[in-house]
């Protein structure tokens, strides 16, 4: 089972980036997926999550209205569209597979609900 994140980079404040995460090794459509981020010296924090078929999403308050999570079950890919980026969005971004099939709910904000993590892609927002 593997997750491969891409799309990070350097962008000015107010700009946009689109992260992608390609998955393999599981029946993709059975699992919720999440994005988390970790800034230097800080704990990993929840960003967004999406249910198995994409019908439900969760967002951290800090990104709501600016970020959009989506998935393509035909391509085994989850995306994170990030608009109106701020310097405080600077972090390594990680995609993650839920540990259990068909699991969904507010608890998906917790890192403990995920068992497979991608390698991280770095997003740097300059002011």
Q: Where are the alpha helices (DSSP H) in the chain?
A: none
pLDDT digits (tens, 9 = 90+) for 97-127: 999 999 999 999 999 999 999 999 999 999 9
Tokens of 2: 């593997």
Residue 123: the pLDDT is 98
Q: Compute how many other C-beta atoms are within 10 angstroms of the C-beta atom of residue 31.
A: 24
* 42 bridge partner residues: none
Residue 103: the pLDDT is: 96
Q: Write the CB contacts of 105 (distance below 8 Å, at least 6 apart in sequence).
A: none
């Amino acid at each position: 089972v593997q997750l491969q994140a891409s799309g990070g980079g350097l962008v000015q404040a107010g700009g946009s980036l689109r992260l992608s995460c390609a998955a393999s090794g599981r029946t993709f459509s059975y699992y919720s997926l999440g994005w988390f981020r970790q800034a230097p010296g800080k704990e990993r924090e929840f960003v967004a999550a999406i249910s198995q078929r994409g019908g439900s999403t969760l967002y951290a308050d800090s990104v709501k209205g600016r970020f959009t999570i989506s998935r393509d079950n035909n391509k085994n890919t989850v995306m994170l569209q990030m608009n109106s980026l701020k310097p405080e969005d600077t972090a390594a971004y990680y995609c993650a597979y839920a540990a259990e099939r068909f699991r969904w709910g507010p608890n998906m904000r917790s890192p403990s609900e995920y068992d497979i993590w991608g390698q991280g892609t770095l997003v740097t927002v300059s002011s």
